[in-house]
Amino acid sequence: MTSAPDITRPDSKPLVAAIWMLGAVASFTSMAVAGRAVSLELDTFEIMAYRSVVGVLIVTIAITLRGRWNVIELRHPMMHLGRNIAHFTAQNLWFFAIATIPLAQVFALEFSSPLWALLLSPLFLGERLTRARILSACLGFTGILLVAQPGAAPITPGLIAAAAAAVGFAATYIFTKRLTGLTHILCILFWMTVMQTVFGFVCAGIDGSIAVPSAAALPWVALIGAAGLCAHFCIANALRVAPATVVMPFDFLRLPVAALIGLLFYGEPVGIAVIAGAALILGGNWLNIRSEAKKS
């Protein structure tokens, strides 16, 4: 794995990275709004099924236009399966959470994913748990307690879903890190969309009925599928032209943007505890990013 480019080098382009990250923020936020818009018509399994169909179409077109079908193989089926089960589970929980609790809480808890990855990486990747990583994790989990407020506020299914989704996304990161050293990113994306299409329709059909999106819901479903892939594409391009210390703080803009949208469009107030907890979670992430940058 190559180290991130140095901001002082000529090939580092922080302004270009900032533009790419604004695209990622817009994509993630639009996916949350679209997910909430269709949540009354489709359940989470149906949302994931149709989202994955859109993803298959986009990835297939991208592979064909680039002439890269030669990189599509299945040499590590169990690793692809593990990654996609983790991601499918986490994404379903995330869609459930955005429909049931304030957007600011969902995004704040989602940002704890890298901190869970810090704790899981020594077990699955053999990485060392340094003092900086331990401090980052402690700050982050203190923030989680503030956001969730156990004892002071009821622990709802939505809160539990958002917190569990963060753990699932962390597991996805770990599987992805293993796979990127073994296969091409297009191969990972192809099997992600294909497998999760199957997972989605199988789970959606367990009750014997799969809802078809209405004409009004279809654009929202298309937006969910396109925005998910677009967000990760933007982040990947941002990291190609600037270091993580420049890129990731722009990703943190998702939280205030989500809070503002929740306030303006859904009347969701943002409490002091959520703001303080989010600050600790983001602070833990920032401390870890700075520590990793210094080591690089």
Tens digits of residue pLDDT in 79-107? 999 999 999 999 999 999 999 999 999 99
The pTM of the full predicted model, rounded to 2 decimals, is 0.86
CA distance 42 to 48: 10
Contact 145, 199 (CB under 8 A): no
Beta bridge partners of 153: 150
The string of DSSP codes covering 189-242 is: HHHHHHHHHHHHHHHHTTTS--PPPPTTTHHHHHHHHHHHHHHHHHHHHHHHHS
pLDDT range class, residue 7, cuts 50, 70, 90: very low
pLDDT range class, residue 158, cuts 50, 70, 90: very high
Instruction: Return the residue matching tokens 């990855």.
Output: 117
What is the arithmetic mean of pLDDT over 112-122?
85
Question: Would the pLDDT of 115 be above 80?
Answer: yes
pLDDT at 128: 79
CA distance 232 to 243: 16
The string of DSSP codes covering 111-154 is: TTHHHHHHHHHHHHT-----HHHHHHHHHHHHHHHHHH-BTTB-
Instruction: Report CA torsion sign: 98, 210, 223, 16.
Output: positive
State which H helix or E strand residue 269 sits in.
none
pLDDT range class, residue 153, cuts 50, 70, 90: low
Instruction: Return the residue matching tokens 């382009």.
Output: 13
The alpha carbon torsion through 228, 229, 233, 234 (nearest 10 deg) reads -30
What is the arithmetic mean of pLDDT over 36-44?
95
Strand, coil or helix: 45? helix
pLDDT range class, residue 51, cuts 50, 70, 90: very high
What is the arithmetic mean of pLDDT over 135-159?
83
Tens digits of residue pLDDT in 161-189? 999 999 999 999 889 888 988 898 899 99
Higher-confidence residue of 148 and 12: namely: 148
